[in-house]
Amino acid sequence: MTTIDDVRPVARTASQVSLDVVLGPMKSGKSLTLISMLSPLQFTRVRHRVYQSERHVRDTGVTSRSGGELATTKVASLRAALDEQLDVVAVDEVHMFGLDDIRVVEQLLRRGTRVVLAGIDLDHRGELFATVRALLELGPDTVSYRRAVCDQCRDFSATHTQVLRAGEPFLEHLGGSEALPDDGTFTYEARCRSCFVRPGAGTASATTRG
């Protein structure tokens, strides 16, 4: 008689190859989620590594405002993950990577590597980052959306990240995979849909009224 125990090893192998994605604006606790998912692994034999883009210059690891820290490897490209034998690959601030890196994620999944990614989904204009769009097109097993407290109205419903330059919303168009420098030129606010300022917001409301 076939029991659940007979099929479980196969089922487990298949279920281990998963793509889990954590998305949300600035200050929505994405890093804390990543820390809680990954930090127990350091006490296991699971081979894992957490990657961050070299362009992320503020922190030396994944840190959360609520405490906790993960050691990370800074890379220009996720291709580095293909050179190692890893069971789990995690990526923080995935929106800072490019479309080539999402192809790497695809290769890792084919290899049987579990991949966990966290990042900001919507850019400074309220549009999906090209990298995140490509990521969602891989058909993740889970996508969890985190919310933050709106820096304007203090409602716990911030979905967007407003980028400010000299205190004013920065709404200029950037190239496809171009991300903003993380060097202090810009400041960032988590904002709800109502408080978020979109490009052409003034003319859009005038059009609606007309």
Q: Does residue 195 bind Zn ion (CB under 5 A)?
A: yes
Least gap, CB of 179 to Zn ion (angstroms): 24
Among 127, 152, 164, 199, interactor with Zn ion by CB under 5 A: 152
| CB neighbour list of residue 108: distance below 8 Å, 6 or more residues apart | 81, 82, 89, 115
With H, G, I as helix, E, B as strand and everything else as coil, classify residue 144: strand
In whole angstroms, the minimum distance from the beta carbon of 203 to Zn ion comes to 22
Does 109 contact Zn ion by CB under 5 A? no
**Quick check: 107 and 101 in contact, CB under 8 A?**
no
The answer to whether 78 touches 103, Cβ cutoff 8 Å, is no
Q: Is 178 a catalytic residue?
A: no
Query: Which string of x and - marks every residue 110-149 that binds Zn ion (by CB under 5 A)?
Result: ----------------------------------------
- Candidates 18, 27, 19; CA nearest to 146 is 27
SS3 content of the chain, % helix, strand, coil (to 5): 30, 25, 45
Question: For Zn ion, which is the closer residue by CB, 64 or 152?
Answer: 152
What minimum distance in Å lies between the beta carbon of 195 and Zn ion?
A: 3
Residue 117 vs 150, nearer CB to Zn ion: 150
Reading the block at residue 79, the tokens are: 């291709």
Nearer to Zn ion, 156 or 181 (CB): 156
Compute the distance between CA of residue 38 and CA of residue 63 in angstroms, rounded to an integer. Answer: 12
3-class secondary structure, 73? strand
User: Which member of 93, 127, 168, 189 is catalytic?
Assistant: 93
Nearer to Zn ion, 120 or 195 (CB): 195
Which residues of this protein are in contact with Zn ion, per CB under 5 A?
Answer: 150, 152-153, 192, 195
